[in-house]
Amino acid sequence: MRCAVIVFPGSNCDYDLYKAANYIEGIQAEYVWYTSKSLDGFDAILVPGGFSYGDALRAGALAARAPILKALQRAADSGTRVLGICNGFQILTECGLLPGALHRNSGLRFICRTVNLEVSNTATPFTSGYVGRTSTHVRLEIAHGEGNYTCDSDTLHKLEDNGQIVFRYSGDNPNGSVANIAGITNEAGNVLGMMPHPERAMADWMGSSDGRILFESMRD
């Protein structure tokens, strides 16, 4: 599987995502610069975390208007798997590939810590591997200042009815997101945006290896 890791100016989890994807047997990840006009030939597209454009205006707002976005939209529309993590999630909501928005954390402070997540839908191309795990609980790290997912009630109902809510915070909700949402897909299910960082949970020495399953699911 050929994966693109998009690099925007100010992306800083691009390297981590590149390492994580290449760590999985059967995935070859490559960097793609934000000015590129094509994403043809890639089986999956990874939009990394960080502070694209220094979060100028709003987190993700400028990256959502970067030259590569047209190609990203085309790829998503044609069914290519797209994974946006942290700032990547913010970019996907800003460009309209995912509904809703990510507000400032309810505590108004940046939070970096490990959280417990419930995998609410294992029938997606990103989470199929979590089937059969005890109570489908996973531990991943979050590191964000604007992870408070918000949407109107109609959208929330749609998300719930379509099984688009993939990850929810279990136990305490670190950022005040609606319905404890940590990650959602688009209606078609091929675009996932999530605040927690699976690329930071690839081996026990990192504190958790629960993120591997997500990349393996994507490959399979």
Partner 1 sequence: MHTDEPTPDQIHCKKVYKQMGLNDDEYSLVVELLGRRPNLTETGIFGVMWSEHCSYKNSKLLLSRFPVDGPKVLQGPGEGAGVVDIGDGYAVVFKVESHNHPSAIEPYQGAATGVGGILRDIFSMGARPVAVLNSLRFGPLSDSEADKKIISRTRYLFGNVVAGIAGYGNCIGVPTVGGEVCFDECYTGNPLVNVMGVGILRHDQLQHGRAEGIGNSVIYVGLATGRDGIHGATFASEELNEESDAKRTAVQVGDPFMGKLLIEACLEVYESGAIYSVQDMGAAGLTCSSTEMADKGGVGMELNLNLVPQRAENMSAYEIMLSESQERMLFVTNPGREEEVFAIFKKWNVPAVAVGHVIEEQVLRLKHHGEKVAELPLNTVCGASPVYQRESKMPQEVVERQQQTAITWSVPENLQIVFQQLIQTPELASKSWVYQQYDCMVRTSTSVRPGSDAGVVRVEGTDKALAMSIDGNSRYVFLDPKTGGKIAVAEAARNVVCSGARPLAITDGLNFGNPEKPEIFWQLEQAVSGMAETCNFLKLPVTGGNVSLYNETEGEAIYPTPVVGVVGLIENNDHTTTQFFQNSGDVLLLLGDTKNELGGSSYQQMQLGKITGMPPKLDLDKEQTLQQTLLEIIHSGIVISAHDLSQGGLAVALLTSCTENYGILVNWEIDLRPDIALFSESQSRILLSISPDNTELVEVVMQKKGVPCARIGKVVSSGTSGSNCGGSTGCFDISLNGTPVIQAELNPLRELWKNAIGREMEISV
> Which residues on adjacent β-strands are paired with residue 157?
none
Closer residue to partner 1, CB minimum distance, 86 or 192 = 86
Task: Report the C-alpha gap between 23 and 80 in whole angstroms.
Answer: 21
- Exposed, middle or buried, 108 (CB in 10 Å: 0-12/13-18/19+)? exposed
Closer residue to partner 1, CB minimum distance, 73 or 114 = 114
HEC per residue, 117-140: EEECCCCCCCCHHHCCCHHHEEEE
Residue 140 CB, nearest approach to partner 1 (Å):
11
Residue 190 CB, nearest approach to partner 1 (Å):
26
Closer residue to partner 1, CB minimum distance, 79 or 107 = 107
Residue 16 CB, nearest approach to partner 1 (Å):
4
Q: Give catalytic residues, as residue numbers.
A: 86, 197, 199
Task: Report the C-alpha gap between 158 and 70 in whole angstroms.
Answer: 26
Task: Report the C-alpha gap between 69 and 92 in whole angstroms.
Answer: 10
Of 39, 44, 106, which is closest to residue 72 (Cα–Cα)?
Answer: 39
Contacts with partner 1 by CB under 8 A lie at: 9-10, 12-13, 15-16, 19-20, 50-51, 53-56, 109-113, 141, 143, 145, 197, 199-200, 202, 205-207
What tokens does 194 get?
């999530």
Residue 159 CB, nearest approach to partner 1 (Å):
28
Q: Beta strands 28-33 and 44-47: pairing type? A: unpaired
Closer residue to partner 1, CB minimum distance, 63 or 159 = 63
Closer residue to partner 1, CB minimum distance, 91 or 98 = 91
Compute CA 34 distance to the chain's CA centroid, rounded to the nearest angstrom. 18
Residue 112 CB, nearest approach to partner 1 (Å):
5
Of 114, 104, 105, 172, which is closest to residue 139 (Cα–Cα)?
Answer: 114
Compute CA 173 distance to the chain's CA centroid, rounded to the nearest angstrom. 18
